[in-house]
C-alpha cells in the first residue's frame, strides 16, 4: 500500500538487531530490510549470506528492489562469518523457530520478546533476534547460542512463515509496544468538521425534518411522538458535525424542493408522476 511520507522521520528508537543466518536469496534480504524499515528497526546483520555481501550487481539489484526504499538499511548491514561473532556485542539473543527443538529453553511469543527488548534497551542493554535460512531455519547449534526461543502464535496446521514475514511480525510487535501503537493518521477533523455541531443546529435540523415529514403525511395519527424520537435516535448515532448537519439538511431540502418542483433542483424525471403537490 502506498502511503510513505518522506517528510516524516522515523522515531529514534533503539530496537533489537535483526540477524539473518545464511540467507540464500538477495530478494529475501531486501524484503527483510523493508519489513525492518516499516517498523523502525535499523540494525541488520548478515551471517555468511550464500551469495556473499556486498552482492554481485544482479543480486544487489534484486535486494534493493525488494527493499523498496529501505536501501539505507541494506547499505548499513554488517557482515559476519558466523553466529558467535554476529551476536558478540549483544546482551540477550532470541532464536526464532517454528518448531520445537528438544532444548529446554524458555519459549516466548513476539509480544513477550518485544517487551523484553524494550525493557533491556531502557537499561542500556542490546538485544538481537536470530532468523534462520529460508528452507531449513536455524540449526540446533544456532539455537543453542540463544537465551530463549521466539515463536509465533500460528495455525499449527500451517506454521511456516517466510523470512520477511517473521521479521515483519517481530518488528510490528516491537514498534507497536515501543510507540504505544500510535497510528500514522487519524480522521481529518478541521473547520466545520472539527467538532460536533452545536445542539441548536441539530435541533433545528430535527424540527425541519419533522415538519416536512408531517407535511408529507409520514406520521400515522398519534404515532408522531414515538416515531420522531426514533428518528432522532438514528441521527444522534451519527454524532453530526456542523458540516454533516449542513450536508444532510441540503439533501433534505433538495428532496423536498424537488418533490415540489423547486427551481434550483433538477427534478428526477421518474419522480415527476409521483409528485402529488404539483400540476
Residues 94-153 that bind a copy of itself (CB under 8 A): 96-100, 102-109, 111, 132, 135-137, 149, 151-153
Work out whether 154 is an interface residue with a copy of itself (CB under 8 A). yes
Return the closest-CA partner of residue 16 out of 117, 96, 84.
117
Q: At what angle do helices 242-260 and 199-215 cross, to 10 degrees?
A: 20
| Window 60 to 79, contacts with a copy of itself (CB under 8 A) | 68-70
How far apart CA 12 and CA 9 sit, in angstroms, is: 9
Judged by CB under 8 A, the stretch of 74-82, 139-147, 167-175, 205-213 that binds a copy of itself is 167-175
Q: Cβ–Cβ contacts within 10 Å for residue 120, how many?
A: 17
Work out whether 187 is an interface residue with a copy of itself (CB under 8 A). yes
Inter-residue contact 150 to 108 (CB < 8 Å): yes
Residue from the set 19, 26, 163, 245 that interacts with a copy of itself by CB under 8 A = 163
Judged by CB under 8 A, the stretch of 93-101, 195-203, 217-225, 266-274 that binds a copy of itself is 93-101
For 17, the 3-state DSSP assignment is strand
| Window 216 to 275, contacts with a copy of itself (CB under 8 A) | 241
| Window 5 to 24, contacts with a copy of itself (CB under 8 A) | 5-6, 8-11
Work out whether 186 is an interface residue with a copy of itself (CB under 8 A). yes
Q: Minimum distance between the CB of residue 240 and a copy of itself, rounded to whole angstroms?
A: 10
Is the peptide bond prior to 164 cis by the omega test (within 30 degrees of 0)? no
The H-assigned helical ranges of the chain are 26-38, 57-67, 71-75, 83-86, 110-122, 140-143, 163-179, 199-215, 224-236, 242-260
User: With helix as H, strand as E and coil as C, how does 32-92 read?
Assistant: HHHHHHHCCCCCEEEECCCCCCCCCHHHHHHHHHHHCCCHHHHHCCEEECCHHHHCCCCCE
Q: Minimum distance between the CB of residue 112 and a copy of itself, rounded to whole angstroms?
A: 9
Size of the site for a copy of itself (CB under 8 A): 71
Per-residue binder mask for a copy of itself (CB under 8 A), 31-50, x = binder: ---xx-xxxx----------
Residue from the set 65, 85, 140, 160 that interacts with a copy of itself by CB under 8 A = 160
Work out whether 176 is an interface residue with a copy of itself (CB under 8 A). yes
Judged by CB under 8 A, the stretch of 30-38, 54-62, 121-129, 217-225 that binds a copy of itself is 30-38
Work out whether 164 is an interface residue with a copy of itself (CB under 8 A). yes
Amino acid at each position: 500500500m502506498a502511503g510513505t511520507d518522506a517528510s516524516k522521520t522515523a522515531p529514534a528508537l533503539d530496537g533489537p538487531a535483526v540477524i539473518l543466518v545464511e540467507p540464500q536469496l538477495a530478494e529475501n534480504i531486501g524484503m527483510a530490510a523493508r519489513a525492518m524499515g516499516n517498523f523502525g528497526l535499523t540494525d541488520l546483520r548478515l551471517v555468511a549470506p550464500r551469495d556473499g555481501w556486498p552482492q554481485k550487481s544482479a543480486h544487489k539489484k534484486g535486494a534493493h528492489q525488494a527493499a523498496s526504499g529501505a536501501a539505507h538499511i541494506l547499505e548499513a548491514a554488517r557482515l559476519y562469518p558466523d553466529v558467535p561473532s554476529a551476536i558478540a556485542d549483544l546482551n540477550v539473543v532470541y532464536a526464532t523457530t517454528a518448531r520445537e527443538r528438544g532444548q529446554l529453553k524458555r519459549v516466548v511469543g513476539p509480544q513477550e520478546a518485544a517487551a523484553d527488548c524494550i525493557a533491556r534497551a531502557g537499561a542500556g542493554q542490546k538485544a538481537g533476534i536470530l532468523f534462520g535460512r529460508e528452507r531449513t531455519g536455524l540449526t540446533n547449534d544456532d539455537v543453542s547460542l540463544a537465551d530463549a526461543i521466539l515463536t509465533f502464535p500460528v495455525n499449527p496446521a500451517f506454521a511456516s512463515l517466510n523470512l520477511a514475514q517473521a521479521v515483519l511480525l517481530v518488528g510490528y510487535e516491537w514498534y507497536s509496544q515501543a510507540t504505544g501503537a500510535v497510528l500514522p493518521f487519524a480522521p481529518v477533523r478541521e473547520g466545520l468538521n472539527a467538532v460536533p455541531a452545536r445542539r441548536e443546529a441539530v435541533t433545528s435540523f430535527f424540527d425541519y425534518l419533522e415538519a416536512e415529514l408531517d407535511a408529507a403525511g409520514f406520521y400515522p395519527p398519534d404515532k408522531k411522538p414515538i416515531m420522531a424520537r426514533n428518528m432522532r435516535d438514528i441521527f444522534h448515532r451519527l454524532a453530526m458535525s456542523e458540516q454533516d448537519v449542513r450536508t444532510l439538511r441540503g439533501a433534505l431540502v433538495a428532496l423536498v424542493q424537488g418533490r415540489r418542483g423547486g427551481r434550483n433542483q433538477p427534478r428526477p424525471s421518474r419522480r415527476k408522476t409521483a409528485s402529488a403537490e404539483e400540476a
